[in-house]
Amino acid sequence: MRKFLTLALALSVTASAASLAFLGPKGTYSDQAATQYAAAHDLTVGTVYPTITAVGQAVVAGETPYGLIPNENSSGAFVAETSGLLAKGDPGWRIIGELTLPISNTLLVKPGTNASDIRTIISHPQPFKQSAGYLAANYPNVTRQEVASTAAAAEAVSKGDGTSAAISAPAAATVYGLSVLAADIQDDKHNATSFWAVQKADQAFPERRPNRVLVMLDTQPGDARLGTVMGDLRALGFVPRNVQSWPLGGRLGGYRFVLAFDSEHGMPLTRVQATLAPLGKAAILLGAYRK
């Protein structure tokens, strides 16, 4: 009995220690998304990494069992660094879940700063795009400064002279001791970003009946693989959701695709894998989960 309890305790500790790495620094939308995803899946919020690439590398190297990386914004399209990793081929990780985070762009200033005091607005390039209409209407002549993250923008404002503002996540106000000058300044009030939860490629997919699958497919000039994959998955009840593509290099006409498919009820993972198997290394099941 004592051995059983000891083993049960050890398994409990191991399970609770599973962590989720994410793109930092603290106070960003990625931080907020990681907190939400970890809470919903009994994970701990783990190590903060400086780039999306570093998060993926940490997962592949076994430094962390799971990572969370931004994938797509409803206003700003696919996240360039994540797409860049996929364009290079198999990233070494697989997608096992997704979280959609509503984006509330917030204009943050040092306490006591007024709108008329602002000479510079600092942010990541994406929030500038997302809030372009607001900025044109309210700050048409104010200098814009791009930095690596919205948290870096908030930190810069906190160290500034009171003449700058940051477009950042609301959580950054608390982290950096700033005040909210204006909230929800994004032009699209339904603005949202999706994040992928990823694990190392050699681990089994935890979901046995996914209703969302993503396939990485390499095609050569003149072959029918793209049509084959789309037709075979449609026969299983999956319909295309979105497509990314990049030229493979060499002869014109060769492409690498990442194809996302949705199914109303899902399908056994084994049937999806069997459908892709005849294509060999040309097709990789990049993601499988319930949306």
Whether residue 6 is contained in a domain is answered as: yes
Is the same domain home to 173 and 216?
no
Domain, as residue range, for 275: 212-289
Please indicate, yes or no, whether residues 136 and 158 belong to a single structural domain of this protein.
yes
| Residue 235 in domain | yes
Domain boundary among 166, 200, 234: 200
Q: How confident is the model at residue 16 (pLDDT cuts 50, 70, 90)?
A: very low
Asked if residue 83 has pLDDT above 80, the reply is: yes
CATH assignment at residue 147: 3.40.190.10
Taking 50 as the threshold, does the pLDDT of residue 273 lie above it? yes
What pLDDT is recorded for position 34? 95
Same domain, 51 and 195: yes
* Residue entry with tokens 């000039």: 221
In this structure, the answer to whether residues 98 and 135 fall within a common structural domain is no
Could you tell me the CA-to-CA distances from 21 to 60, 84, 172, 202, 269 in Å, in that order?
12, 20, 19, 18, 26
Domain end call among 135, 170, 200: 200
pLDDT over 70, % of the chain: 94
Contact 164, 122 (CB under 8 A): yes
Is the domain of 196 the same as that of 78? yes
In a domain, 223, yes or no: yes
φ, ψ dihedrals at 178, nearest 5°: -110, 170
Residue 205 is assigned to a structural domain of this protein: no
Residue 250 lies in a domain: yes
Q: What is the pLDDT of residue 179?
A: 98
Which has more pLDDT, 230 or 8?
230
Residues 136 and 227 in one domain: no
pLDDT band at 13 (very low <50, low <70, confident <90, very high): very low
* 209, 266 contact by CB (below 8 A): yes
End-to-end Cα separation, the chain, in angstroms: 41
Mark whether 114 and 256 lie in a shared domain. no
CA distance 258 to 246: 9
- The structure tokens listed for 257 are 């695709």
Residues 256 and 143 in one domain: no
Q: Does 262 lie in the same domain as 128? A: no
**Where does the chain show beta strands of DSSP type E?**
19-23, 44-49, 66-73, 77-78, 93-102, 106-109, 120-123, 143-146, 164-168, 179-182, 192-200, 212-219, 238-247, 255-263, 283-289
Whole-angstrom CA distances from 171 to 44, 47, 58, 103, 106 are 19, 18, 25, 12, 9
Average pLDDT over residues 157-181: 96
Q: What confidence score (pLDDT) does residue 218 get?
A: 96
Domain count, the chain: 3
pLDDT > 90: percent of the chain = 82
Confidence of residue 25 (pLDDT cuts 50, 70, 90): confident
Residue 231 belongs to domain with CATH number? 3.30.70.260
Statement: residue 6 has pLDDT above 80: no
Residue 174 phi, psi (nearest 5): -70, -45
180-199 average pLDDT score? 95
Q: List pLDDT tens digits, range 216-260.
A: 999 999 899 999 999 999 999 999 999 999 999 877 889 999 999
- Structure token pair of residue 132: 């372009």
In angstroms, the CA 186 to CA 183 distance is 9
Q: State the pLDDT at residue 7.
A: 34
Give 120-145 pLDDT, tens digit per residue. 999 998 899 999 999 999 999 999 99
Beta pairing, strands 283-289 & 212-219? antiparallel
Whether the per-residue pLDDT at 40 is higher than 60: the answer is yes
**Are 243 and 122 in the same domain?**
no
Among residues 124, 157, 151, 122, the alpha carbon closest in space to that of 22 is found at 151
Q: Indicate if 125 and 240 belong to the same structural domain.
A: no
- pLDDT at position 1 is 42
Q: pLDDT (tens digit, 9 = 90+) per residue, 90-124?
A: 999 999 999 999 989 999 999 999 999 999 999 99
Co-location of 117 and 252 in the same domain: no
pLDDT digits (tens, 9 = 90+) for 50-72: 999 999 999 999 999 999 999 99
Instruction: Give tens-digit pLDDT for 26-38.
Output: 888 899 999 999 9
Quick check: 15 pLDDT over 50?
no
